Chains A and B, each alone.
Chain A
Amino acid sequence: MSKANEVVVTSQKVDKSPSSLSILWRELVRDKVALISLIFLGLVMLLVYGTSLILNQDDIVRVDLFALYEPPSAQYWLGTDYGGRDVFGQLVIGTRNSLTIGIIVTLMTGFIGILIGLLSGYFGGMIDNLFMRVVDFFMILPMLMIVIAFVTAVPKYNIISFSLIMTAFLWMGIARLIRSKALQERELDYVKASKTLGSSHLKIMLSQVLPNLSSIIIVTMTLNLAANIGLESGLSFLGFGFPESTPSLGTLVSYARNPQTLESRWWIWLPASVLILVLMLSINNVGQALKRATDARQRRG
């Protein structure tokens, strides 16, 4: 009798369905485009964070009046801008800054969004109503203008305040998504069973509901990362992102707001534009592949 039980136990272990994270990984590796995108992203990150250990940001943003608007050459791989600053160096540092701020904002919006979504979805009722009215209000704000206005209004403006302002107006989407999923989860039997067993709400939320939402969280945060990089470079492009002393990819593109630069000095703005496009495309590729993986009907195998 006891022996038969043991056999059952071991066979159960073998049949255990793969965890959602390993499914995501498996699907990602199978999707050639997504895999290439992921490798590309990894290489860019390695290059950008690696070289910026050697490159000195102050050196690159120092104005050199003897080398204004140099076209690409052996000394300046991508030429120089209106301050005689090396565009290639700015490109490397700009990519680093854009990626960093994108990741920070994504993590912070993710944290707030998951927290609020989980609370309102799990408890429902009054809490849900209250949070969702707040979300509704934030959703209808003209986000871009308010962010720009806050950027100018803040007295001590730096990277931290910039990412906080962006976070304040970007957490709603993920909160709504997590809330709708948590609403579905709380009706499932495992949550009810756990409640009957006397688990605390906190424990159910964090150690039981949250892991079940992990794949959807990863998908949304990946797609958000692309959107946030786009938004940050857009703000920098308009001149309300990073200051010129900490260039981002958008700062380089913003030089194209000078019609002469746009018309005849492509080396300043075009590489950064292409890089933004390729980065967003790659992150989106990875995100879409992950999204397909979370939907069992669309899996490739």
Chain B
Amino acid sequence: MWKTIVRRIIIMIPQIFLLSLLVFLMAKAMPGDALTGLLDPSVDPKALEAQRERLGLNNPWYVQYWDWIKNAIQGDFGQSFRFKMPVTDLIGQRVANTFWLALATLILTYLIAIPLGIISGRYNDTWSDRLITGYTYLGFAAPLFIFALVMVWIFGFHFGWFPTGGSVAPGLTPGTFSYVMSKFYHLLLPALSMALITTVSTVQYLRSEIIDIKHKEFVITARAKGASESRIYNRHILRNSLLPIAAFFGYEITGLIGGTVFIESIFSYPGMGQLFLSSISLRDFSVVTALVLLYGVASILGALLSDIILGIVDPRIRIK
């Protein structure tokens, strides 16, 4: 197993290298450079040119890439011209919010998916199964942003049960109990909106997995030796059908990345996705490149995690 993990990590290195190259070339293609934001337009063009030379912006692209990646590895992504502060600090302020949002979504996703999947798979072709299948059918077709908009319209504005923006109520001291509760309260509707849509594929998967497994021979054997029905489902079937779902955990993270961008934008939730969108509209490109790189590395790590879990639970697919 260790060999597999090491091999899998080695595959990751060219992926991260290519990602960084792509992000770098993208940043180069964007209008303006690191200086456009730093200096005001009245500066003498000659001085500007000298600055460019000094900062190495006239070097060939591979030299510039090397300089950029060297700094990036040390956690230095340059300055944000909008906030006039290092990009790393700026992202540091937002990363926790997105992390909590993603975590809450993941927990809710599984909290919804596992019971629904089990009911739907165990009692298939009953009315409760039809209800759940109907929900997954709708949820599969509904785009996340429309569903989230409708949620915020109904529960945020119409009923006023939930806040419609921000990550915490203003005026609370960090660390107090009411601060934590307020954070949680602000998190609930966005996370629930996302979870109700992302959970759909897991429910469908779990259902078909259970239906497949319950006709297998070892289930018949278990029944024949007199195991109770609940024991068969909880011990024999569930264990087998949860394995692939555990393995998709890492890919789930990759999916969340796209989702948080929409959710943060709709709920005005101050996370990385919102920072990304506002930075790109204001052409704050040093922030944009850092965020794309960060998200990219996160999804590469997600895929790595999935493959490792998959390797642990299913020895057949280990990399030889």
Which A residues are within 8 Å of any B CB, using their own CB?
Answer: 136-137, 139-146, 148-150, 152-155, 226, 230, 233-234, 237-240, 253, 256-257, 259, 262-263, 266, 269, 273, 276-277, 280-281, 284
Residues of B within 8 A of A149 (CB): 26, 30, 280, 288, 292
B145: interface (CB < 8 Å): yes
Which residues of chain B in 208-247 are interfacial with respect to chain A, using CB atoms and an 8 Å cutoff? Answer: none
B75: interface (CB < 8 Å): no
Q: Output the least CB separation between B267 and chain A (Å).
A: 11
Which B residues are within 8 Å of any A CB, using their own CB?
Answer: 15, 18-19, 22, 26, 29-31, 137-138, 140-146, 149-150, 152-153, 157, 164-165, 254, 257-258, 261-262, 265-266, 276-277, 280-281, 283, 288, 291-292, 295-296, 298-300, 303
Asked if A145 and B261 make an inter-chain contact with CB atoms under 8 angstroms apart, the answer reads: yes
Asked if A140 and B146 make an inter-chain contact with CB atoms under 8 angstroms apart, the answer reads: no
Q: Output the least CB separation between A155 and chain B (Å).
A: 8
Asked if B145 and A280 make an inter-chain contact with CB atoms under 8 angstroms apart, the answer reads: no
Residues of B within 8 A of A155 (CB): 31
Of the candidates B150, B281, B283, the one whose C-beta lies within 8 Å of that of A273 is B150
Asked if B15 and A148 make an inter-chain contact with CB atoms under 8 angstroms apart, the answer reads: no
Asked if B145 and A237 make an inter-chain contact with CB atoms under 8 angstroms apart, the answer reads: yes
Residues of B within 8 A of A153 (CB): 26, 29-31
Asked if A277 and B142 make an inter-chain contact with CB atoms under 8 angstroms apart, the answer reads: yes
- When chains A and B are docked, how far (Å) is the Cα of A256 from the Cα of B151? 13
Given A140-B19, A142-B257, A238-B145, 8 more contacts at CB 8 Å? A141-B22, A145-B295, A149-B280, A239-B277, A262-B157, A273-B149, A276-B146, A277-B142
Asked if A281 and B138 make an inter-chain contact with CB atoms under 8 angstroms apart, the answer reads: yes
Asked if A280 and B288 make an inter-chain contact with CB atoms under 8 angstroms apart, the answer reads: no
Q: Output the least CB separation between A272 and chain B (Å).
A: 9
A–B complex contacts, Cβ < 8 Å, 13 sampled: A140-B299, A141-B296, A142-B292, A145-B291, A146-B26, A226-B141, A234-B143, A238-B261, A239-B277, A277-B141, A277-B143, A280-B141, A281-B141
Asked if B146 and A277 make an inter-chain contact with CB atoms under 8 angstroms apart, the answer reads: yes
Asked if A148 and B141 make an inter-chain contact with CB atoms under 8 angstroms apart, the answer reads: no
- When chains A and B are docked, how far (Å) is the Cα of A274 from the Cα of B249? 31
Q: Output the least CB separation between B89 and chain A (Å).
A: 21
4 nearest A-B residue pairs (beta carbon): A142-B295, A144-B258, A230-B143, A281-B141
Q: Main SS of chain B's interface residues?
A: helix
Asked if B292 and A145 make an inter-chain contact with CB atoms under 8 angstroms apart, the answer reads: yes
- When chains A and B are docked, how far (Å) is the Cα of A263 from the Cα of B258? 25
- When chains A and B are docked, how far (Å) is the Cα of A259 from the Cα of B152? 10
Residues of A within 8 A of B157 (CB): 259, 262-263
Q: Output the least CB separation between A30 and chain B (Å).
A: 19
Asked if B145 and A253 make an inter-chain contact with CB atoms under 8 angstroms apart, the answer reads: yes
Asked if B291 and A238 make an inter-chain contact with CB atoms under 8 angstroms apart, the answer reads: no
Of the candidates A137, A230, A262, the one whose C-beta lies within 8 Å of that of B15 is A137
Contacts A153-B26, A226-B141; is A256 near B257 (CB within 8 Å)?
Answer: no
Q: Output the least CB separation between A230 and chain B (Å).
A: 4
- When chains A and B are docked, how far (Å) is the Cα of A240 from the Cα of B149? 18
Asked if B292 and A146 make an inter-chain contact with CB atoms under 8 angstroms apart, the answer reads: yes
Residue of B nearest to A272 (CB): B146
Max chain B C-beta neighbours (<10 A), residue from A140, A141, A230, A269: A140
Q: Output the least CB separation between B10 and chain A (Å).
A: 13
Asked if A253 and B146 make an inter-chain contact with CB atoms under 8 angstroms apart, the answer reads: yes
Q: Output the least CB separation between A55 and chain B (Å).
A: 25
Asked if A140 and B257 make an inter-chain contact with CB atoms under 8 angstroms apart, the answer reads: no
Of the candidates A142, A240, A273, the one whose C-beta lies within 8 Å of that of B146 is A273
Q: Output the least CB separation between A251 and chain B (Å).
A: 13
Residues of A within 8 A of B276 (CB): 145, 148
Residue of A nearest to B257 (CB): A142
Residue of B nearest to A136 (CB): B15
Asked if A257 and B265 make an inter-chain contact with CB atoms under 8 angstroms apart, the answer reads: yes
- When chains A and B are docked, how far (Å) is the Cα of A148 from the Cα of B281? 10
- When chains A and B are docked, how far (Å) is the Cα of A71 from the Cα of B90? 42
Q: Output the least CB separation between A160 and chain B (Å).
A: 17
Of the candidates B30, B143, B149, B291, the one whose C-beta lies within 8 Å of that of A269 is B149
- When chains A and B are docked, how far (Å) is the Cα of A289 from the Cα of B192? 30
Asked if A262 and B153 make an inter-chain contact with CB atoms under 8 angstroms apart, the answer reads: yes
Residues of B within 8 A of A266 (CB): 153
Asked if B152 and A262 make an inter-chain contact with CB atoms under 8 angstroms apart, the answer reads: yes
Residues of B within 8 A of A143 (CB): 258
Asked if B281 and A239 make an inter-chain contact with CB atoms under 8 angstroms apart, the answer reads: yes
Of the candidates A150, A262, A276, A277, the one whose C-beta lies within 8 Å of that of B26 is A150
Residues of A within 8 A of B146 (CB): 253, 273, 276-277
Residues of B within 8 A of A257 (CB): 265-266
Of the candidates A144, A253, A273, the one whose C-beta lies within 8 Å of that of B257 is A144
Asked if B142 and A280 make an inter-chain contact with CB atoms under 8 angstroms apart, the answer reads: yes
- When chains A and B are docked, how far (Å) is the Cα of A145 from the Cα of B283? 14
Residues of A within 8 A of B15 (CB): 136-137, 140
- When chains A and B are docked, how far (Å) is the Cα of A277 from the Cα of B139? 10
